[in-house]
A and B are shown apart, each in its own frame.
Chain A
Amino acid sequence: MAIYLDHAATTPMLPAAIDAYSRQMAEIGNASSLHAQGRAVRKAVEESRELIARAAGCDATEIIFTGSGTEANNLAIKGFFWSNSKKNTIIVSTIEHHAVLDPIEWLAEHDGAKIIYAPVDSRGVINLEALAKIVNENRDEIALIAVMHSNNEVGSLQPISDVVEIAGDIPVHTDAVQSFGKIVFDFAALGVTSATVSAHKLGGPLGVAALILKRGLDITPLLHGGGQERDIRSSTVNAPGIVSFATAVDQSLMNLRDNYFKVNELATQLRNAIKAGIPTAVFNGSSEESLPGIVNVTFPGTKSETLLVRLDLAGISASQGSACSAGVQRPSHVLLAMGISEDDADATIRFSLGSSSTEEDINTVAKVIADVVEKAKL
C-alpha cells in the first residue's frame, strides 16, 4: 500500500469538503448576477468568506479569493510594488517559497526593483537583528517586506509580530500557506498588511486560495475585468471551490488542537525511528518553534534523488521540499541559506505528515529506511 508522507505538497481533501464541492457544483448561477440564482450563489460565497475570515482573524472584506497561493503572493508583491511608485526596495527572507522569491526577482529584472535579502540562522529562522539593520538603513526606500509565516521545507516558524514591529509603517506580506489550518494564525493579531492562505494545504480543493489584504488598501491588480473581489481580482467567482475551502477550514480549525498533537507525536516517532536506523541522520530546522508534521532530514553521503526514487519504488512518497517545473532536483535554497553545505543539501529529503497519517505509516518507513539509505550511499 502506498504511504503518503508529502502532506506539505498537498494533503488529501476532507470528505466534508468533497461533499460541499459536489453540492455547490450542482448549483447554477454566477455570483455577480442579480437574479435569484446569482444571489443564492453569492450568499454561499459570502458565508464562506465570513467563515474563513473568522478562522483567520480578519474581516470578511479583507479576503480576496484567488486561483492559487502563487497568484495571491504575486498579487501582493507586484500589487504593492506597482501601487507605490516612490519606493523601489523589497526586503525578502532568503527562505521564501519560489512563489514569493520569483515575482520579486522578476520585478528586479524587469521593473527596477532593488532586492535586499534578509538572512536566517541555522534553524531557518529570520535574523531579527540583521533585519532591523537592513530596514533602518533603507527605511525610506522600502516598498514591502516579505517574510513567510512558516517555512515549507524545514517547518520553522517565523517571528512575524517582531518583523511587523521592526517594519513600522512599511507593508509586511506573509506567506501563511503552510500554517493556516495547522497552527494558530491570526491576521489581526499579527498586524501584517497582507497574507496568503491556500485551500489544498488544509484539506480543501486545488485551485482556490486567498490573499488577505487589510481593508481600505488599494493595490494594483494583476487581472482586470469584471471587478470582482474589491476590484483587485477580476474573474467569475469560483463558488464550489470557495464553499469547499470554507468547509475544510471549518473542520481544520475545529480539530486544530487534536491534529496538532497527533501529527506532532507521529513526527517524533518518525524522527526516533530514523535516528535508530541511521544514527548519522541530521534533522534540520527548529525543534521547538515548528510546524507539527515536517521532518526534514539529511542522510550524509547520499543523494536525495536516489533516496526519493528508492522510497517511491518501496511505495513511500516523500519529497525534496521543492521541485522546479521540469522536475529537476536542485539543492534547496532554504537549506543553503541555513548554512548547510551543498553536498548535505543534496542529501536531504522531507517527510511531511498530515492528519490522515498513521502509526502504521511510520512503522513501514522504520522498516525500510536503513536499507534505502544504505543503498543510496555514493
Chain B
Amino acid sequence: MAAAAAAGQVDADTFRRLYPDDYLRKFVEQGLRPDGRPLAAARPTSIGLGAVSTTDASALVKVGSTTALAGVKCEVVPALPEAPDAGRLVVQVEMAPLCSATTRPGRPSEGAQVLTEQLSALLGSVVDARQLCIDAGKVAWAVYVDIYVLDADGSLHDACLLAALAALSSLRLRAVSIDESGRVQTGAAAAAAQQQQQGERPAGQQERRLALSCQPVSLTCGLYRGRLLADPTAEEEPLLEAQATATLDESGAVLGFAAGGTAAVGQIVVVQCLEAAKMRGKEVRAMLQQALEQAGLAADADAS
C-alpha cells in the first residue's frame, strides 16, 4: 500500500478508487460492507408490478440499485409439429448499454447470454409448456419473457429471476376463441364470440392464470477472504475469490447451483450458500405475495 494512503493523506473516496481491495477488506474485517450492510444481508428489494402498460404482464425489480425490468408478451402461434400439445416459453435477457460502464451496444454480451441460458432452463422447468396449448396440433401460446437489465450493480441473476417470476405470477392469458373457419380471436372479442357460440362446440379458452409449478428465488453469495458476502454489488464482485448462485423453491428443493471463481470452495461454503438462499427465498416470496395482493392478482384472490 502506498505511503500516502498509510499516512492518511487521501480521503476515503480516493482510497476506495485506488485500493478497492484494501477498502473492502477494512470493512469486512469489521463485519460490515461498504454500503453499511452486515455480511449476510441482502440489499433492500422492491417489486413493482405492471410497470409497462403495453405488455401482458410486467415487473420492475430493484435489489439495491440493481434494476431489472421483465415484460411478458403472449402471442397465438401455430403449434410446432414436434410438440403439438405444447406452447413455447422464450426467455431473453438483455443488458442495455446504459446498465454499466463495461456493457457495449451491439452483440449481446457474454453475461447476458449466460443469464439467458440459465433463466431459460430454470423457467422452462417452472412453466409446464403443455398448459400453453390452446388447440392441440393447431394453435398454442408463445410466451415471450423479455428481461432488461437497467442498472447492473451486481447479483444480476437474483434480480432478473425475481423480475421474471413476478411478471409470470401476475400474467393472465387472454381468452381465446377459434371459430368454424379457424380464425383465432383473443381478449374481449374472444369472450364475446364465446358468448355467442354457447351450446355449440366449445372452441378456445377462458381468460386464465398461468400455473407455476413452484416459486424459485435465487441468492448470490461471494467468498471474500474466507467470509461469505450475500448479494454482492458490482463493486464487490471483481474482488471476490468465488461466487455461487443458489436457486431454491418454497419447499427447499435446489433448482440450480452455479458456482465459479478463481478459488475452490469447501463443503461448508456450499451448505452456507444454500442455507442463506433458503432464508432469502422466504423473505422474497413474502414480498412477492404482498405485491400480488396489492395488485389484486394473488392466487387466493383469484380462487374466491
A, B co-complexed? no
